[in-house]
Structure formats: structure tokens, C-alpha cells
Amino acid sequence: MILLLDAGNSRLKWARVVEGGFCFGGAIEREDRPPRVLFRALWSDLEPAPARMVVANVAGDSFRRSLTAWVRRRWGITPEYPRPQAQGFGIVNGYRDPERLGVDRWFALVAAARKVKKGAVCVIDCGTAMTIDAMDSRHRHLGGLILPGLRLMRETLVRHTEGIALQEAPALDEAAVAPLGRDTASGVLGGTLYAGVAMIERLLEELAAELGERVQAILTGGEAEAYLPLLRDRPQHAPYLVLEGLAWYARRTAQAQPARPRRGDGQEAAPAAPGADETATPAPVAAEPVAEQGEAPAGIEA
């Protein structure tokens, strides 16, 4: 069994790759709790013990050190922390310094390339920060944008503006947000939501005009569901996109590469640049189901 972890700014999401499938394991809010408390809550009863662990970590170096130490003590393995490449797994990285692209964004692109094999694609990750990355029909990364997510925009308005408070707002039911608010709280809720909607739709229009083709949008992240009903050209919703990219990477590297040495801090040595035969999108194979309490989103390739 291979254990996968998407360690974000606000949440940890994990999954398992087992013989016969990819299974979503769950998610937990970090909420300033010590990492070891989070790890025990997620995996204290995990059976069988993983033979391998692959992590997309944007939670920082301190978190990585805590995770590495805990996993070594618990299971006697060292987590792998792969990094973005200039070119690999069918993707050409558009960043001037490829390793500066967030590893979560890289693996979201890896998964998106498996889902949209023909045509341009735009990945919109709606988390604490909203990140947007576009690829053309040849899976060349065109670059991206980073902006505040819904919660961060709202908290910033409340913190830095006199007279704005959200105490009067009901529970955040995005489906009930009107275009124009009739009180301060609903004005903030609607304003921040429609700001994101307008930006997404404008960017998709400009990308389509530049590329001369329709751009398939894929939404992921914890705030994605707030945007989905309001977008005119309904995008795909892939809530586990980063984990799906990690799973594809883990299966691919297990089949194609020998074990690589790891540095003393648990950071995996950078993978060798793939040859010409590896940069093309791999041949399709059967999609694997994702299981979460009966829900089965679009599969990924093994």
C-alpha cells in the first residue's frame, strides 16, 4: 500500500493506492494543532502499514520535519517529497525556475493532463489561496495566477476595514448568496464570491481567444463548490486532483524507476529528467475508482 498526503495551508487530505484501486482516506483541518496530533487523528488505526509514502507538501519545512520523524517512528519508512520538474510526466513546466512552482500545482497539472488528453485545460484550485494554471493542447504549462481565496478575502476585509463584520451573517451558505447584498455581511459574502467568479470567467475567455479553442476548466480545492453553480460554462469538479496526480506519479515511478536515495532530511533526491519517450502522455490504461462514502469522482490512470 502507498500512502499519499496533500499537505496544504489549511487542511491535510490523504489517500491510499492499493492493489486494484485508489481510495480517498479523508481530510482534517489543521487549525494550529501540533502536527503529531493531526497524524495520530488520521492514521493511528491505519492498516496495513504503508510500504511507501508520497507527499505534496506546501505546509512548510517545519511540518515536513515533523512528518518525516513521525512516519519513520511509526512505520520505519521515509516519506518522499517529489519536486516539480522542468519537463516530465507529459507536462512542460512554464515557470522560469521550475522548482518554484508549488508542488501541489504541479501534481494538479499532472492529473489534469490525464483527464483532458486533447485540448487546452485550466486548473483552478480554490483553497486558502486560489491558484490558476493553464496548459495548451500539448500540455505546455502557460503560467498561472495566485490570489486570495474566499475565506482569506473575507477575513482581510473584516480585519482591515472599520465597520465591516460578519457576525450578522448566517452560516456561509454560498448557494443563497445574492448578487447584491441588503446588509454589510451579505455584501461581503456576495462581493468576494462574485469577484472570484468574474475573474475565472474573464480569464477563460481570454485564454480561449489567445489559443483559438475552448479551454476546459477543472475546479478543485475546499472552496470549489461555492463557485460551481455560478460559472456559466460548467467546469469539471475534481475534489481530489492533487492526490490523483500523486497517485499517478507513485504508480508510474514504482513501475518505471528503482528506489532513489533520500537525503537525511527525508527530501527525495530530484528525479532524473525524463527522456523523449517519457515526456509524451503515457498510453491510457484503465481508470481506477475513487471511494469516499459511496461517492466516486472521475477516475485516474494507473
Distance CA 41, CA 232 (A): 39
Angle between helical axes of 103-115 and 241-256 (0-180°, round to 10): 80
Phi, psi of 187 (to 5 degrees): -65, -40
Catalytic residues: 104
Which residue matches cell numbers 459511496?
Answer: 294
